[in-house]
Amino acid sequence: ICSILSDSGQQTTQRLGRVRWWLSKSIVARFVGVLMELLQGCECHWKRFDQLFQLLLGFASCGQKEAVYLIRCGLVLRLVDIYAGEAGGVPRRYLVEHCSSEYASKKKPKSARRTKMGDKYNKPNFNFLVSLLDVLIRSVVVTPNDDEVSDSDSDSDASTDDKLDNSKKSGFDPTSPYFPGDGFSAPMTLTRDARESISQSLTKFEMPRRDARSVSSKAFFLKLFDEIPPTQQRVTSNPQHLVSFNHHSQITSPSHSETLSSIVSQIISHLCFESLETSKTVCSAACTIVKERKAEEFKVALDSLVALLEINDTHVEIRTTDVLDALAAGIASNLKYEKESVLLLSRIKMFLFNRSKGKYGLPAEVHVCRCMRRNIKKVILDEWFCRPNTCAEIRQSILELVKSIIPIDSGKDQNSSNAST
């Protein structure tokens, strides 16, 4: 959905249909079309298909127009289908395909099994695929639960809406979690190109509802959290810089690179902004991973949970409570494992140490502090610290966590906290 704001404050909304790249005479469109057709059945080439995602990432990183074009080509649904497989739940009829291409003519019947990617000793490299999804998702606004919008893939007539929220026309509020785009309000997690597009051209793009559902499912989040960040390996998702290719397709420009875990956290933060349902789905998926996996295997899930605490929107208190419940469940199930428990406790302690002082911190920071204080005795001390089989290292981490909770406010608040402890 493309929304355009005129100088008079009148908003025009138009649905842009899927792109049929095989009908275009543009050289760029044909090049992208070749890459899109190569994605059909690329699973059988899983040992080298990361180079294909790297090429598409380079094109998407050129700007927001390029990223929106790829979304209109149906790339988000195609990537989720490749990445999550049958668990992703993407219906075959929603995938944009060129029926007369040689790749489509070779596709297997619906009853055929999917190609199994990876073996006992090797796993497919999805780093560039995840980075590509990050650029695509954060190039548009993801509007949750928009049931009044049609799922049609065709263009629609423009409609106008003169009833623009006065708060969106007002000046910039420095405490607002939104990026002010001269009339539009959008989350700060948008890419820089997307923010500039909203600010300069007064044009805002929203992700298609089918695409939004596919990247907000629990199966997709479980697949993301199942990733184990490789040591010393970095991937690029910054849309301002193109990828520098090399023979092995594993290392990109070191000066503009991010870890895989941080890229997943960016995706999660963007999808969960102003979406309580998506936030609850993320908490449920991350809690499952934290409770069942080892410390080195749930790092991505843990980082994503902490990233949820940094979102500042209208669902701060409910989301924060859900995140703390997920972390508490993870700690309770891992109390007999030193490494896992210490890691979980240290992440909470780090978040509390880095927060603003007093009552003037971010809403999530204040709410986390209050929740932790309320549960010092009942949960932290009675259930965790006084547990008979809790080892000394875990108890030391619990004491450090308690210390990080108490010395925040001065005066009566601090004295009452010390007394209750």
Type of residue at 275: S
Q: Provide the 10 A C-beta neighbour count for residue 21.
A: 23
- Report, as an integer, the average pLDDT of 122-139: 93
Within 13 Å, how many C-alpha atoms sit on residue 262's CB side?
9
* pLDDT band, residue 145 (cuts 50/70/90): low
pLDDT for 12-21, tens place per residue? 666 777 878 7
What pLDDT score was predicted for residue 246?
Answer: 38
Q: How far apart are CA 403 and CA 112, in angstroms?
A: 58
Q: Is the per-residue pLDDT at 58 higher than 90? A: yes
Residues 305-323 have a mean pLDDT of 92
Query: What's the pLDDT tens digit per position in 373-413?
Result: 888 888 888 889 988 888 999 999 999 988 888 754 444 44
> What are the backbone dihedrals phi and psi of residue 4, each rounded to the nearest 5 degrees, phi first?
-120, 130
Q: For the whole model, what pTM was predicted?
A: 0.81
Q: Residue 311 pLDDT > 80, yes or no?
A: yes
pLDDT tens for each residue of 331-378 = 999 999 999 999 999 999 988 877 655 555 677 788 888 888 888 888
Instruction: Report the distance separating Cα 372 and Cα 323, nearest Å.
Output: 12
What sign for the dihedral angle of Cα 388, 390, 393, 396? negative
Least confidently predicted of 173-177, 193-197, 349-353, 357-361: 173-177
Residue 149 pLDDT > 60, yes or no?
no
Phi, psi of 159 (to 5 degrees): -130, 150
Q: Is the pLDDT of residue 233 over 80?
A: no
pLDDT of residue 14: 67
d(CA 47, CA 123): 8
Asked whether residue 108 carries a pLDDT value surpassing 60, the answer given is: no
**Contact 50/127 with Cβ under 8 angstroms?**
yes
More confident residue, 320 or 173: 320
pLDDT of 78 strictly over 90: yes
Query: For position 217, what pLDDT does the model report?
Result: 94
Query: Mean of the per-residue pLDDT values for the chain?
Result: 78
**The pLDDT of residue 10 is above 90:** no
Would you say residue 88 has pLDDT above 50? yes
Q: According to the model, what pLDDT value does residue 7 have?
A: 60
Average pLDDT over residues 54-68: 93
**Higher pLDDT, residue 198 or 139:** 139
- Taking the C-alpha atoms of residue 31 and residue 91, their distance in angstroms, rounded to an integer, is 26
Q: What is the pLDDT of residue 179?
A: 56
Query: What is the per-residue pLDDT for 387?
Result: 86
Question: Hey, how many other C-beta atoms are within 10 angstroms of the C-beta on 108?
Answer: 10
- Whether 236 shows a pLDDT value over 80: the answer reads no
